[in-house]
Structure 1
Amino acid sequence: MSLDEKLGQLFMVAAYSNKGPEHEREIQQLVKEEHIGGLIFFQGSPKEQARLTNLYQLNSSTPLMIAMDAEWGLAMRLPETFKFPWPITLGALQDTVLAYEYGKAIGEHCKTLGVHINFAPVVDINTNPKNPIIGARSFGEDPEHVTRIAAAVMRGMQSVHVLAVAKHFPGHGDTDSDSHKTLPSVSHPMDRLEKVELYPYKNISKSGLGGVMVAHLNVPAIDPSGKPSSLSPATLKLLREQIGFDGLTFTDALNMQGVARDYKPGMVDLEAIKAGNDVLVFSQDVKLAKAKIKEALKAGLIDTAHINASVKRILAAKYWMGLSTKTHIEGSTLATKLLREKDQILNHNIFAEAQTLLINKNKTLPVKKLADLKIACVTAGNEVSPYFAEMLKKYTQVEYFDYTNKNEEEIIAALADYDYVVLGLYTSNANPWKSYKISSEIRRFTRRIALQNKLIITLFANPYSLLDFPEARDAEALLMAYQNDPDAESVAAQIIFGALGAKGRLPVSAGEPFEVGFGLNTQAIGRLGYHYPGAVGLDVNTLNRIDGIVKEAMNQGATPGAQVLIARKGQVIYHKNFGYIDSKKKTPVRSEHLYDLASITKIAVSVPLLMSLVEEGKINLDKTLGYYLPEAKGTNKEDLVLREILAHQSGLKPWIPFYLETLDQGKYKEGYYGKERSFDYPNVVSEGLYSQRYMRDTILKRILDSDLLPTKEYRYSDLGYYLFMQIIERMEGQPLDELIHEKLYEPLGANTMVYHPLQIFPIDLIVPTEDDKTFRRSLIRGYVHDQGAALLGGVAGHAGLFSTANDLAKLMQMYMQKGEYAGVRYFDSVTVNEFIRCQYCQTKNRRGIGFDKPQLEGPGPTCGCVSDRSFGHSGFTGTLAWADPDEQIVYIFLSNRVNPDAENRKLLSLSTRTKIQEVIYEAIQNDDPATALIGLAP
């Protein structure tokens, strides 16, 4: 190399991918004529940066090393890239596994974009809350903990050969001014610097740190001359000789006012080289700077050996970065490579391990008992999102309010009757140096709520926000969530309701009693969590094929819409809504829409209530119907065994169309119905139609008088569940709908699992079923579709239940967890095992006790790929609920394929539900990512 080429290697010039052709020509000229060694990219777009990197590398005689500030990922500079948590959030972690993965993931993104150097990690020890430029960019204020986290991040980045550059040497953490604007001073004595500011560099340098960035600071204890650290020979000597760092040294940007105010372009570069820096970052005049350096060499002010040593380090680093082999960055694939599911999993897991519980009076969190509990969520602050409230609603009924200073009085009044108010407070997530302070209006509002309600505060904000927020200490529970991020919102809701435990510790002091390292632990209690497919060993790309299956069903007219939910290992990882609530295609399906579950009612109502009676010794499944139902005595049903009825091989007819007996040539027979609800006609059949008081007795007698099938073999029948309803209600002395809600759904938090949904929910949240032309002569919406259940007033043992997919999944998860959910045991595991066991496999009957099971051969309710231990049920309206303990999978499919016509059987002929199940099992991966399950409930 010529001297000019060697000098060129010392320069790293600022490049942008959003400044147009003139800037592009300027960089091209510097690459070709000045032989610059590298570029630091700033704002623009990933695709354009890739194009320019390819172009500049092509025209450089010696490959360029490309650098970026990507402290929390490329998103620090570029849109359309993944934004990882800020360093202060990582500082709340208690081990370094996720910090390593964080560094590695950021390194992989850098490498994908052709970036070889990341000016990170920030190892400044942020001991000054008023620091205007570091703050949340630091891992915290404890030197040992910051060093542990930073070292892990460094190792992760360098594991993929992206050079990590620790900054800002000798330490920018205790400053109250910004070196972009002025020259900050750090006036601590040397012994303090050794213990705090210099501590990370001493330790990380021994672990293979590749680079150090030297800051523009005035540190009199190191250099009393007042010279900026970046231009100070004493500072560089300390780094090289006392600390023992032998990697590349970089100046902080030479256009910053910390040096540019007193040193002109060219001269500042010369001073930086004389001080001992290897790379001059953001040089403003390369040609002039090179001339100044050459003059200094001639004058003997710089030794040629000094230049050669720097160039040798630069070239060795380039070789380590892989620059000996030229590569082309493919811009067309950047979007998928820079927005990966594995990054989302890591993001979620970091928040799950970092979020810190600071107050937990009387063990408020996790909220365990949901019965009779009224909960509201209020959000306030900057860049507020409703997502936190949506996540809370997945666990129980939660009323949502969005605070503004204009609706404060209205909200305060509305909250008066609530047991708990969850207050989500937000600050900007745009960048770490945005204001983290809570406004005086929100502070006042918080104080007022605390006077009348039990308050749970979640701060999606920098922990320093607590310094000027004494009102937070009035909360029953205070959760530090660190950032305004969807994964942070999801995790916070899961911690509040016990799907996750709180584990983090404060990385900084936030006022009494919240000292650095403070944090309270809670334990997960076994509620469903919410995560990403890859976190539980399911391939997201395979699962995405489900979208096409459902859309094809809708295109073929099999159903107007659907809800599909998949959970694995206790985590809901796929929950999507498709299409519209009806064939008019005006209202899209949402997660809160309730579907008529049809025959899933059997395993959601009758079966659990029978389980309870069995456990209480009130029912023996091997006794006869006549033993428990006096009306059956003397009939051909007297000797039917309960177990056989539940397994559908007792000889009962499949179905009796009771409603046809109430019609005469399509008209209602006199005496069966009234148009208004009254003593004689109390049972609501549909809007404006009520059945007679003794309809239940009539149906019961009709069943008991009916013929049996000639042989006892498997034939599916609803009839037994009419009889079970009679037995259950007599034994318990309570109506079926009240009984199941009180015993099971309310404590489960399954508030949408209801009979008579119109009594609780607005009609626009209920999906319509059939436009019934023959019986009820109206569109059935909010009333049970099944005609027999309708005659009984909408409550029956075999049909009548409505639900969302999310709440039905809780029930199936409880069964799969052998009768336990959220720390509450509903049934003994022995009971659950017995009910879900195939009862008569030897006679080719696949059924359990009430539960359906996989087909023994040929077609059936499943894809044939599920385990023998799996169980569930389907429903006439186009529903399916299935659980597989072997693979820990819960699968829910809700549709209204009967809209507008119940004769539509395309959902069956297309095998939509079973095709989806096939895809779920195809998506199972043998090897889970090493860190995928971190943050999940045990």
Structure 2
Amino acid sequence: MKKTREQIIALIESMTPAQKAGQLFLLAYPGKDPEVIRPLIEKYGICGCYVSQDNAQTFDEAEAMTTSLQAMSMKAQGIPLLLGVDQEGAWGILIPESHPGPGNMALNAIDDVHAVAGMYELIGNEMLSVGYNAVLGPCSDVNSDPRSPIIGTRSFGQFPGEVAKAVSMAVKGARKTGILTCLKHFPGHGATSGDTHREIPFIDKPYAQLSTSDLVPFKAGIDAGAEIVMTSHIRYPQIDSENPATLSKKILQDILRKELGFCGLILSDSMNMGAIRKTYDPAQSTLLALQAGVDIVMLSEEHYDFETGDYLAKQLRSLELVEQAIETGMLADELVAEKLVRILDYKFNRMLIRKPRMSTQLLAQHAKQELDTAKQAVSLLQKRFWPLPKQGDVVYINATPVSSYHNMVNSRGIGPNQETPAFDSFIGEVQRLRTMKVLTHEEAMKDLDVLQQASALVVVTEDYPLPGEDFEKHDQQHLVSILCERYSERLIIVGLRSPYELSLYPKHVTYLCAYSSRTCSAIAAAQVLLEGQEGTVHTKLPVSVDFER
């Protein structure tokens, strides 16, 4: 199946303008029936698909779907599809059968970079076993703004050097399996409190400052061999006063290509996100991105605003505009050929289609590795009331109101995707090991005085990075603040999230942090809490938090 450069050029010359345009698009489609996207594969020979939980929920469904999609593409044009997935830890797919791990921030809380490599090697093997051949990770953003609603635990942390080491190991671990890796969101999404799923944020840093902070992990990932870099829809006015990164030649060509020496594929973040959709004509922005330096335009078609609409009609408008631009020369032949040579070289010479399915025994080993890794990350950040008493009346409180969970499983399968709240998994593990009393947020708020009778209180907080939305945390933080004020001397806060919330509470309160809302982290936190080991006091932190050790 491998092809020489001459064979690839000959193939490109034989392609119609529609087929050339199609190879520049990574498209999503709704539901579990891949027949929906057959018309675009047959006419345009698209580059590939962005696949989400909406398309497949089990390994069996995923294998059947990818087999069908690849057969369509090979019959239509003889070119395999790139099938990309957001299996990046804090976000995941094929939940609950897959093992995405505790997420990047949790991995970086472990003082062992090999844990990062091991987790991404696991991810790569699982995804390839069902035919997903590109993981849209690792997230390489330096999370320097604690207010970020969308990066958070998707990032390895706040410190550029440490993030760079983790990104490098993640890429190396994944690449051992043969899966393609993708650094995102270039040149960095972590220094803003905005969410590009809703708007165009801006980061007012000069290049000199970016080069010593946000760009450091991207350089490390490129040096480690990452094949793809995903752009961000963020404006950097001191570099390009007019365009967000996705549409900026200065950022994509001068910085990414020339300064950082990246020779791989440049993939846009979804052009359906609010940052682009609310500012530019969707189809026209696609053309601008390709002219700026993007190789593959992603239209992942998430319903951020719970819209409905015709997926194929929206995608078709962008495909038709690019086809026309190729026919008229608006997109120069040389530019299109350069992109296609790069894309097809990866597809024929560097991209695996799939690996054999995994045995039940191997998946069980993955589950153990995932839990062990999550447990290593659990950290006792502040210690006053520790360990938990072996005897006495212990009350466990869910800080999160029931109403906050309404959007936990995000529209279109994007986001955390676990249907069971982290608190439920935490309590399930505690109940397996010990009897206790459990209160909901609503029950605790109704009668706070009854808690005076308890010998110990454990309150659990959660957070989930949701595209285009927020996981409501105000009420849970209000309850925790009251508990800190009244019962701090016998209170343990278990944070199934990043530790940024510590700044809201007294410095003397006990805080056990799992850095993650994934199921494995919830179970791990319960085990660490009940074991009460002093060894869980960690000195390495992935982010800067004002607290007392």
Shared fold per TM-score greater than 0.5: yes
The 1-side partners of 2:315 and 2:522 are apart by 45
Indicate the residue corresponding to 2:41 in structure 1. 31
**Structure 1 residues 159-198: aligned runs within 5 Å:** 159-198=176-215
Closer/same/farther in 2, CA of residues 503 and 152 from structure 1, 3 Å limit: farther
**Is 2:348 aligned against 1:319?**
yes
Indicate the residue corresponding to 2:146 in structure 1. 129
Q: Is the 8 A contact 1:387 1:486 kept in 2?
A: no
1:239-258 Cα distance to aligned partner (Å, 9 max, x none)? 00001111111011111122
Indicate the residue corresponding to 1:876 in structure 2. none
**Is 2:247 aligned against 1:231?**
yes
State the Cα distance separating 1:233 from its structure 2 match: 1.1
The 1-side partners of 2:450 and 2:438 are apart by 7
**Is 2:363 aligned against 1:340?**
yes
Letter in 1 for 2:234: L
Aligned mate of 2:333, from 300, 304, 313: 304
The 2-side partners of 1:253 and 1:143 are apart by 26
State the Cα distance separating 1:336 from its structure 2 match: 4.3
Indicate the residue corresponding to 1:920 in structure 2. none
Q: Is the 8 A contact 1:378 1:402 kept in 2?
A: yes
The 2-side partners of 1:401 and 1:290 are apart by 54
Indicate the residue corresponding to 2:408 in structure 1. none
Closer/same/farther in 2, CA of residues 503 and 411 from structure 1, 3 Å limit: same
State the Cα distance separating 1:124 from its structure 2 match: 1.0
The 2-side partners of 1:170 and 1:72 are apart by 21
State the Cα distance separating 1:195 from its structure 2 match: 1.6
The 1-side partners of 2:374 and 2:69 are apart by 39
Indicate the residue corresponding to 1:379 in structure 2. 397
State the Cα distance separating 1:315 from its structure 2 match: 1.7
**Is 2:291 aligned against 1:274?**
yes
**Structure 1 residues 335-484: aligned runs within 5 Å:** 336=360, 340-361=363-384, 365-366=386-387, 374=392, 376-382=394-400, 383=421, 384-385=423-424, 387-388=426-427, 391=430, 394=433, 399-402=436-439, 404-405=443-444, 408-409=447-448, 411-415=450-454, 418=455, 421-427=456-462, 434-437=471-474, 438-450=476-488, 453-468=489-504, 470-471=505-506, 473-475=507-509, 477-484=510-517
* Unpaired stretches in structure 1, ≥5 consecutive residues: 515-519, 521-938
SS at match of 1:474: coil
The 2-side partners of 1:391 and 1:105 are apart by 27
- Indicate the structure (1 or 2) with the bigger Cα radius of gyration: 1
Indicate the residue corresponding to 1:44 in structure 2. 55
Q: Is the 8 A contact 2:102 2:370 kept in 1?
A: yes
State the Cα distance separating 1:301 from its structure 2 match: 4.4
Letter in 2 for 1:28: R
Q: Is the 8 A contact 2:151 2:465 kept in 1?
A: no
The 1-side partners of 2:425 and 2:342 are apart by 52
Q: Is the 8 A contact 1:424 1:460 kept in 2?
A: no
Q: Is the 8 A contact 2:127 2:133 kept in 1?
A: yes
Q: Is the 8 A contact 1:74 1:109 kept in 2?
A: no
State the Cα distance separating 1:157 from its structure 2 match: 1.4
State the Cα distance separating 1:281 from its structure 2 match: 0.9
**Structure 1 residues 669-680: aligned runs within 5 Å:** none
**Is 2:77 aligned against 1:59?**
no
- Percent sequence identity over matched residues? 25
Closer/same/farther in 2, CA of residues 205 and 181 from structure 1, 3 Å limit: same
**Is 2:139 aligned against 1:105?**
no
Query: Going by fraction, where is helix more abundant, 1 or 2?
Result: 2
Closer/same/farther in 2, CA of residues 409 and 29 from structure 1, 3 Å limit: closer
SS at match of 2:495: strand
1:345-384 Cα distance to aligned partner (Å, 9 max, x none)? 22222222212222224xx6457x96xx646243232343
**Is 2:25 aligned against 1:15?**
no
The 1-side partners of 2:215 and 2:191 are apart by 12
Closer/same/farther in 2, CA of residues 405 and 303 from structure 1, 3 Å limit: same
Q: Is the 8 A contact 2:50 2:84 kept in 1?
A: yes
**Structure 1 residues 655-734: aligned runs within 5 Å:** none
Closer/same/farther in 2, CA of residues 133 and 74 from structure 1, 3 Å limit: closer
Letter in 2 for 1:173: G
Letter in 2 for 1:127: S
1:48-71 Cα distance to aligned partner (Å, 9 max, x none)? 443232222112121111111211
1:548-572 Cα distance to aligned partner (Å, 9 max, x none)? xxxxxxxxxxxxxxxxxxxxxxxxx
The 2-side partners of 1:39 and 1:386 are apart by 32
Closer/same/farther in 2, CA of residues 483 and 217 from structure 1, 3 Å limit: closer
Closer/same/farther in 2, CA of residues 184 and 386 from structure 1, 3 Å limit: closer
1:873-932 Cα distance to aligned partner (Å, 9 max, x none)? xxxxxxxxxxxxxxxxxxxxxxxxxxxxxxxxxxxxxxxxxxxxxxxxxxxxxxxxxxxx
The 2-side partners of 1:6 and 1:386 are apart by 48
Q: Is the 8 A contact 1:106 1:157 kept in 2?
A: yes
Closer/same/farther in 2, CA of residues 434 and 84 from structure 1, 3 Å limit: farther
Indicate the residue corresponding to 1:588 in structure 2. none
Closer/same/farther in 2, CA of residues 52 and 479 from structure 1, 3 Å limit: closer
Please report the RMSD computed on the Cα atoms of aligned residues, expressed in angstroms. 3.1
TM-score by structure 1 length?
0.48
Letter in 1 for 2:544: S
Could you say which structure has the greater relative contact order, defined with CA pairs below 8 angstroms and 6 or more residues apart?
2
SS at match of 1:479: strand
Letter in 2 for 1:311: L
The 2-side partners of 1:322 and 1:377 are apart by 52
State the Cα distance separating 1:164 from its structure 2 match: 0.7
**Is 2:106 aligned against 1:89?**
yes
The 1-side partners of 2:437 and 2:176 are apart by 46
Deviates more, 1:375-384 or 1:99-108: 375-384
State the Cα distance separating 1:499 from its structure 2 match: 5.0
Indicate the residue corresponding to 1:241 in structure 2. 258
State the Cα distance separating 1:296 from its structure 2 match: 4.0
Aligned mate of 1:142, from 159, 165, 169: 159
Closer/same/farther in 2, CA of residues 169 and 390 from structure 1, 3 Å limit: closer
Deviates more, 1:139-148 or 1:399-408: 399-408
State the Cα distance separating 1:74 from its structure 2 match: 7.7
Closer/same/farther in 2, CA of residues 334 and 264 from structure 1, 3 Å limit: farther
State the Cα distance separating 1:170 from its structure 2 match: 1.0
Q: Is the 8 A contact 2:187 2:231 kept in 1?
A: yes
State the Cα distance separating 1:411 from its structure 2 match: 3.1
The 2-side partners of 1:302 and 1:386 are apart by 52
1:31-63 Cα distance to aligned partner (Å, 9 max, x none)? 111111211112132344432322221121211
SS at match of 2:366: helix
The 1-side partners of 2:480 and 2:48 are apart by 48
1:222-265 Cα distance to aligned partner (Å, 9 max, x none)? 212x2121111111111000011111110111111222233324
Q: Is the 8 A contact 2:276 2:282 kept in 1?
A: no
* Unpaired stretches in structure 2, ≥5 consecutive residues: 1-10, 301-311, 401-420
SS at match of 1:423: strand
Q: Is the 8 A contact 1:158 1:164 kept in 2?
A: yes
Letter in 2 for 1:461: R
Q: Is the 8 A contact 2:180 2:351 kept in 1?
A: no
Letter in 1 for 2:158: E
Letter in 2 for 1:405: A
Tell me the matched-pair count.
Answer: 487
Indicate the residue corresponding to 1:6 in structure 2. 20
Q: Is the 8 A contact 1:228 1:259 kept in 2?
A: no
Letter in 1 for 2:185: H
The 1-side partners of 2:20 and 2:80 are apart by 13
